[in-house]
Structure 1
Amino acid sequence: MATPDLDPLLLFRQAIAAGGKPTPTTSPTSDEEVPLAQATHLVFVHPTRVAIPIDTQTRFLSAQGKQVGLRSIYFTWINRDITIPAYNAAAEKLNEEMAGTAAVHSCSFVERLNLVTWLEGAGDETEFIKPLAGDKDAAAASGGSGAVTKTVTTASRSGRGTLDPRLAQIYDGERRMGDRNSVLRGIKPTDFSHIRKQAAQFMTRKPGQAAAPSSMPGGPTNNPSLPINSKPVRRPDPIILLSQSASSLLRMSNAKTFLEGGRYAPPETLNAPVHMLHIQRSIKEMDPNRPVRFILVDQTENFKPEYWNRVVAVFTTGQAWQFKNYKWSNPTELFKHVQGIYLGWRGEQPPESVRGFGHRVLTCSVEKWRDPGAPGAETSRWRDREVVETIWKAIEGNMRAKGWRRDAAPREI
């Protein structure tokens, strides 16, 4: 078992807390990052530089009780934000690249949730991580009938190094409250949506209805809707739909660079995309304190009905098959509810179908892509930022018209 100072999981957690992440390298003395399939070591630089073989087994145990290697831990962390199908596909691709020399463990949803939560420092208790050897010794030193309880106490602090035996005895006298994973979720996610329907009749009040006075001094009120100290509801993230067409200039692989960075690059020059991305945009009129997060997707098969009320823009190439699975499959009806955007090359006419959509679809053009090595290629990209701002101006105007606010989203568009 690794010591607390060289424990891979603890070093990983400390690196994330310091705002960084370890680097996969081909030797313990190198600092050059290489693809994960070629890496032999993982280099940590906080609190001191430490290189650990990437195939080292960690204290993280799978649901089947098998140790998970450091390569799998790193792979799960860097892919923490992608969907489950995309995560499994990335694991299969990595295993093919390593050609049988090693294999990454594809974590289940619960394993992934517990690992990411622990690494981020959001929780210290997880059944998947074994305590450090020093923690076990601290629990055993307490002795007596409370040995089992002491083991649980020190195990729950396994991410913080060894624990003094006397301090462990003091902790044993505390009432254990648990965290949201252990209290609400247990070992698998639980759906509590049915509780909302049952509680709705007690928590809502019709618009304009005031609380009824008491029927007698000190008696209960006649209004069944009693005031409740409820927390403000978090505004959902607005959604932007992209086209999956191969002829589209803006796809998942280059949308973040263009919409967030203000620079256009063709999809073919970038890595293979996922089906969901997050980008941020500062909209002072909506939220002056923090940027608004947008969700970019190019598939609607898994859309819930309420998701359509969050759609603020649809990028289109004018091809009718794009709208087949949309709530409004007729483009004319769709663009009555949502801002349409067409992105084409400067100097070329948009397709006839796009022109037929009329003013409900914003037509924008970017300079044609030129090889970065060609003379004057960089100077032709200065207009990209202007095009991006035009697109955002249309999206933000549509959002204001539909009722998007700092703490609220429209219930229907």
Structure 2
Amino acid sequence: MASQPPKAELEDPLSNLRLSIKHASPPVLANSPDPSSSADVVDKLSQATHISFTIAAPGIEHSQTFEITTPTRFKVNDQNVNLRDVYFAWLNKDSSLADYIAAVTDLNEELPSGAGGSVQNLSFAQKIELIGWLSGEVESSDSIDPLGGAAGAAAAADSAAIAGGKGVPFQQNGGTVSTAGGKMVDARLLQIYDGERKMGDHNTVLRGAKPTDFSNLRQTAKLFFKSGNTPNTANPTNLPSRPLPPPSKPSRRHEQPIILLSPSPSSLVSMANSKQFLDEGVYIPPGATDASSTNMVQLNRIIPSIDPARPLRFILVDSTQNFKPTYWPRVVAIFTTGQTWQFKSYKYTNPAELFSHYPGVYVGWQGEEPPENVGQLGRGVLSVKVDKWTGNTSGRWRDREVVEMIWGRIEEGMRRRGWTRDGPGLSGSGSGR
């Protein structure tokens, strides 16, 4: 039989959402802090100002209402994410990256002015981490602050002190002791900790407690080596009989993924603006940037399905003039304007075959249809649109959504080809679809 959760958990909005999911009691969206009638209940998240939780389970009777914009313990970039954004992420837990980004855009357009700002677009890794905690698959997360922060810190300090052999202040009471934080610990356990041997650092372990004279080894060394450090072959019996270790295998070089940009002057993404667009999520036309011309651009990006902790370094080029055959398995995306002359020097000159091996990307203007030749390239080419340039970067929040869609396609292709931190899998240039 379930027991009533602690008071702190019942008063926390994030814990209320987790409890409602656990006990299959979906929350109710409302436009009133006290939704007592059906007129107070709304269907759309964009119309809600409050969210009400009612949990009825064996041993649990609880009801609580929160403002939809209440900050939660879930943090992104040290900023608390509000309850609406967290609940929205849960509703879209099964959506693909592209569908989730589209849903964020639709909800932002539906939100009335003064409703609390726009919905935060969580990255793939952040969304997975949040969904795992809400569903109960994991019990803790680095992005979620604990409920009992002070108590947890005190307990951690006591544990560290005990493990270090210092012990903690206590009052003995029979077979148990009370720590400074009031926690009961077995007294015999503390005695064992206090009697443990203290470990030294690498200096004390290697050097010992007193200096050691190794001069006698010099005489032994003369039996093996002549002057000039040449092995002594005059007396083979004095040569070491220890077999030579097997040669170590050469470590594989990290093969950095390559993104091919279109060399066409009509391309909206070129070497001049590619880093700012794909790295910072802000689009500025090539002619409006201050970037000097270069033959190669490098940027770092975390690909969660390959390594969620460390970013990969991508190389961006717009020419295959200096390409070696070994470079093609490293290509993870090809930007195009649909002009087939771009592919004459590529490994596959036929567009249908080319984009069956590598993901293609076409970037066009919002409100304009892509050229007919782009549609003829097939489904291997992702077509995205950016807002038209107005002369400044203000209000270009849609650019980030477009960039995330592009990276989502690139990550999908890398995952299918078995990419690791060292490079592509054995399948080489697998399907880009």
Q: Which band: TM-score by shorter chain?
A: 0.3 to 0.5
Pair member with larger Rg: 2
Q: TM-score, normalised by structure 2?
A: 0.41
TM-score normalised by structure 1 residue count = 0.43
